Amino acid sequence: MSHRVALAGNPNTGKSTLFNLLTGLRQHTGNWPGKTVVRAEGELRTDNHTFQIIDLPGTYSLYSNSADEEVARDYIIFEKPDITLVVVDATSLERNLNLALQVLEMTKNVIVCVNLIDEARRKGITVDKKELSRRLGVPVVLLSAREKIGVIQLMKTMDQMVDGKISTDPYLIPYEEEVEKKIEEMEPRIKEIFGDSMPSRWLALRLLDGDKNLLQALKTYIRDPQSVEIKHEPAQGGCCHGA
């Protein structure tokens, strides 16, 4: 059984470089259904597992401002990868964490890959991996996809995550009291409809935001869940959706 891993992140953070490093020649590309956005998939075999890696388009956000953002959002929400690797640029963490925090609201199974660590070192930037991991509530791996640093640690962390040996506690942004109250009212209803198949807090926030694009995607999903190609695999251990 292979586990699906999505690579998300801002543009130009080295997602494709990491993708190529992980998958070597075992990859193929196509288009996302109905979109002119390239979809690249490849296979990675670690000591214990086989992973199917999907290289998502680079975006600053996942609030469907563009076809790229829609593709990335839909993949994480509807296709539910077993792991989402959020690739961030070590030299501009402040910018990159915007997307990372959005992903943490969508799924628990996240590993934050701080890439371009070689470039950061050259610029005198150090990243406190332990503290970042503590604050974000998910594993953090320091990487240089170009200089092939940190890849073994990443594969180890991926193995541990699908083996259920890592339990995450993603940082969730606290909102104003008024918003939090509304979320609290909505979540039970959302859970009634979707069970554990949707991140209820995230969905409540999108609804409060009046995200019409997402509503449309949801309607399609409710009518025909297969239309978005959901391939459910049994949850592994304690760290996955619904477990």
Partner 1 sequence: MESKPIYQFHKGDRLEITSVQVEGVMRRRLLDLGFVRGAVIDVVQKSPLGDPIAFRVFNTSIALRREESSLIHAVKMEEDSEVKVQ
Ligand X SMILES: Nc1nc2c(ncn2[C@@H]2O[C@H](COP(=O)(O)OP(=O)(O)OP(=O)(O)O)[C@@H](O)[C@H]2O)c(=O)[nH]1
Binding track over 29-58 against ligand X, x by CB under 6 A: -----------------------------x
* Alpha-carbon span 29 to 203, nearest angstrom: 31
Helices (H), 55-209: 67-74, 93-106, 117-122, 129-136, 151-162, 177-194, 200-208
Partner from partner 1, ligand X, Mg ion, none contacting 115, C-beta within 5 to 8 A by type: ligand X
- Among residues 35, 52, 60, 156, the one that binds partner 1 under rule CB under 8 A: 60
Between 99 and 204, CB nearer to ligand X: 99
- 16 binds Mg ion per the rule CB under 5 A: yes
Partner from partner 1, ligand X, Mg ion, none contacting 17, C-beta within 5 to 8 A by type: ligand X
Evaluate whether 29 touches 78 at the Cβ level (below 8 Å).
no
- Among residues 25, 30, 34, 94, the one that binds partner 1 under rule CB under 8 A: 94
Element (H, E) at 216: helix 212-223
Task: Give residues with Cβ within 8 angstroms of 218, minimum separation 6.
Answer: none
- 20 binds Mg ion per the rule CB under 5 A: no
- Contacts with Mg ion by CB under 5 A lie at 15-16
- Contacts with ligand X by CB under 6 A lie at 9, 11-17, 58, 115-116, 118-119, 144-146
